[in-house]
DNA sequence: GTCAAAATTATTGTATACAATCTTATTTTT
DNA sequence: AAAAATAAGATTGTATACAATAATTTTGAC
């Protein structure tokens, strides 16, 4: 199914906002966007409504719609929520993951290990994402899976920077092993606890996230 | 801040879909809606984009947008997700709820008890909702809170019917007491487990939910 | 009578015109 | 000179016209 023009525009704008191309509070000028996308204001306005609904922008009537970049507090809240969603996925995955999906999960982690061995941050970043997505999928709950995917996507730019800190990749990989073991043995409670800890931003990770925030802002 | 016309229309349509005024798969006719709301198609189409983004409708390009009512499976998935969100809220609430918020939570439950004493289903339905919202609030995580609120709103019509089954209200109230106690003593793990069980649809509750589904469909 | 092609009708998608409102600049008043 | 009032410009919100596509009906061939 070919996506609608409105959806294309909305997705592109989403990417741009994620990448930090727009400042927090910046107005999304309908006319400029119309010129940028070579369309009239009508499809732009429809796309903007989508952005508003997904929380990426705020609409002030008769004023315009303004991008809403999360600040430090909201970011921590989002990571906390992500941790809980991942924990939930892990809990269900431990109970219901299929043999095939488990195989893929292990394979994804093997790819992670190779990336660590090569000290390839970009690749680890990619494979790690797949590892987590396999857990979402393993939950066998499409609704939960989609929620997790959507938040993962939104937090993506903030995770990248963290990997550049020394020892972070190796530590992450070690946690993966334990998570797989818990899921394999069907210990949902343990899988949930491990995943929560794996994703939660605490201690040193907190400073790394904040450092990443500044980097993005510049 | 006065809401935009588009937001009003979108919210009204959301209510109508929640109430079951539109069949699953029914096309949302732009012209009819424009007449219904006494506006042109333009603001209608903007509102429809919001519905699509929030998952209440599906857009098929050049065909139209069609309402998407959850079937039994998706409904169970949504309740599972709700259970996990509530568990997460409970966990954080146990660690961070303020004295004031705890007081309000207890008060909300007292209102629940009064409703049970009067065997007032409608009132219990209302007060129970507030009880849970106090837990969301108690989590002190606005992002998580909003996610919980939004899903609670979406599941609202399906919870109502369940209360009509014998003993359901009294059982629910009993669980509330234990939840409060866990939060009060700061036992996040217990609060999470209790809330998960409180919301999860299993055993008899499953049949009640399915019965409710049929009732709504008629 | 049935199927296929063509024509008709209906519906979505987009551009544009205009109205309503807000913002900014200018003028006027004190 | 500062503040208030006014005017000009910019921007959002809505209606409408038209184009593109899909759905339906009609027509015609076999």
Mean pLDDT, rounded, for B189-210: 91
Minimum-distance CB partner of B53 among A42, A53, A59: A53
Mutate to test the interface with A, among B14, B60, B76, B77 (most CBs of A within 10 A): B77
Mean pLDDT, rounded, for A152-166: 88
- pLDDT band for position B204 (cuts 50, 70, 90): confident
Mean pLDDT, rounded, for A80-107: 98
- pLDDT band for position A83 (cuts 50, 70, 90): very high
Letter string b/e over residues B187-208, b meaning 16 or more CB atoms within 10 A of that residue's CB: bbebbbbbbbebbbbeeebeeb
* Res B165: pLDDT: 84
A42 pLDDT more than 80: yes
Is the CB of A166 less than 7 A from some atom of nucleic acid strand C? no
Average per-residue pLDDT for chain A: 94
B214 pLDDT more than 80: no
Mean pLDDT, rounded, for B187-207: 93
* Res B2: pLDDT: 73
* Res B217: pLDDT: 60
The C-alpha of A167 sits at a distance from chain B's nearest C-alpha, in angstroms, of 29
Using the structure, give the distance in angstroms from the CA atom of A30 to the C1' atom of C26, rounded to a whole number: 28
Is the CB of B202 less than 7 A from some atom of nucleic acid strand D? no
Q: In terms of C-beta distances under 8 Å and separation of at least 24 residues, what long-range contacts does B69-78 make, across chains too?
A: B69/B17, B69/B20, B69/B22, B69/B23, B69/B24, B71/B24, B72/B210, B72/B213, B74/A142, B74/A143, B75/B158, B75/B209, B75/B213, B76/B201, B76/B206, B76/B209, B77/A141, B77/A142, B77/A143, B77/A144, B78/A143, B78/B151, B78/B154, B78/B155
**Contact at CB, A54 and B53, closer than 8 angstroms:** yes
- pLDDT band for position A46 (cuts 50, 70, 90): very high
Q: Measured between CB atoms, does A96 come within 8 Å of chain B?
A: no
Mean pLDDT, rounded, for A187-216: 88
Q: Which of B199, B166, B195 is nearest to B105 (CA)?
A: B195
Q: Which residues partner with A65 through β-bridges?
A: A59
Where exactly are the structural domains of chain B?
5-67, 72-217
Per-residue pLDDT tens digits for B31-76? 999 999 999 999 999 999 999 999 999 999 999 999 999 999 999 9
Any idea which nucleotide's C1' is nearest the CA of B61?
C12
Give the least confident one: A36-45, A74-83, A198-207, B54-63. A198-207
| Domain B5-67 architecture | Orthogonal Bundle (1.10)
pTM for this entry: 0.94
Is the distance from CB of B62 to CB of A2 less than 8 angstroms?
A: no
Distance, CA of A46 to CA of A211 (rounded, Å): 36
Is the CB of A78 less than 7 A from some atom of nucleic acid strand C? no
* Res A208: pLDDT: 84
* Res B185: pLDDT: 98
Contact list in B for residue A3 (CB cut-off 8 A) is 61
* Res A178: pLDDT: 98
Residues 6+ apart with CB under 8 A from B185: B94
* Res B1: pLDDT: 64
Is the distance from CB of A62 to CB of A75 less than 8 angstroms?
A: no
Q: Measured between CB atoms, does B96 come within 8 Å of chain A?
A: no
* Dihedral angle sign, alpha carbons of residues A166, A167, A172, A173: positive
Distance, CA of B113 to CA of B107 (rounded, Å): 10
In eight-state DSSP terms, residue B5 is H
Per-residue pLDDT tens digits for B4-40? 899 999 999 999 999 999 999 999 999 999 999 999 9
Give the least confident one: A161-165, B52-56, B169-173. A161-165
* Res A203: pLDDT: 83
Chain D bases having any atom below 7 Å from a protein CB: 11-17, 21-23
Mean pLDDT, rounded, for A4-10: 94
Closest B-chain CA to A88:
B84
Closest B-chain CA to A44:
B46
The C-alpha of A67 sits at a distance from chain B's nearest C-alpha, in angstroms, of 17
B99 pLDDT more than 90: yes
Is the CB of B64 less than 7 A from some atom of nucleic acid strand C? yes
Average per-residue pLDDT for chain B: 94
A196 pLDDT more than 70: yes
Per-residue pLDDT tens digits for A117-151? 999 999 999 999 999 999 999 999 999 999 999 99
- pLDDT band for position B216 (cuts 50, 70, 90): low
* Res A216: pLDDT: 65
Q: CB < 7 Å to strand D — which of 22-51 in chain A?
A: 27-31, 41-42, 45
CATH code at A72-217: 1.20.120.530
**Contact at CB, B52 and A50, closer than 8 angstroms:** yes
Is the distance from CB of A67 to CB of A15 less than 8 angstroms?
A: no
B91 pLDDT more than 80: yes
Minimum-distance CB partner of A49 among B3, B49, B87: B49
In this prediction the ipTM stands at 0.93
């Amino acid at each position: 199914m070919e996506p609608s023009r409105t959806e294309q525009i909305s997705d592109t704008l989403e990417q741009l906002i994620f990448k930090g191309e727009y400042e927090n509070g910046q107005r999304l000028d309908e006319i400029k966007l119309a010129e940028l996308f070579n369309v009239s204001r009508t499809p732009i306005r429809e796309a903007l409504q989508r952005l508003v609904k997904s929380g990426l922008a705020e609409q002030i009537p008769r004023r315009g719609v303004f991008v809403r970049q999360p600040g430090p507090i909201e970011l921590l809240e989002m990571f906390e929520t992500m941790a809980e969603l991942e924990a939930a996925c892990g809990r269900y995955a431990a109970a219901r993951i299929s043999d095939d999906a488990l195989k893929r999960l292990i394979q994804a982690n093997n790819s992670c290990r190779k990336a660590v061995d090569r000290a390839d941050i970009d690749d680890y970043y990619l494979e790690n994402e797949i590892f987590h997505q396999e857990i979402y999928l393993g939950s066998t709950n499409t609704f939960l899976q989609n929620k997790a995917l959507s938040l993962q996507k939104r937090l993506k730019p903030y995770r990248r920077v963290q990997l550049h800190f020394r020892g972070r990749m190796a530590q992450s990989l070690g946690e993966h092993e334990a998570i797989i073991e818990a899921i394999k043995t069907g210990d949902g409670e343990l899988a949930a606890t491990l995943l929560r800890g794996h994703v939660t931003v605490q201690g040193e990770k907190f400073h790394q996230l904040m450092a990443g925030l500044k980097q993005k802002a510049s």
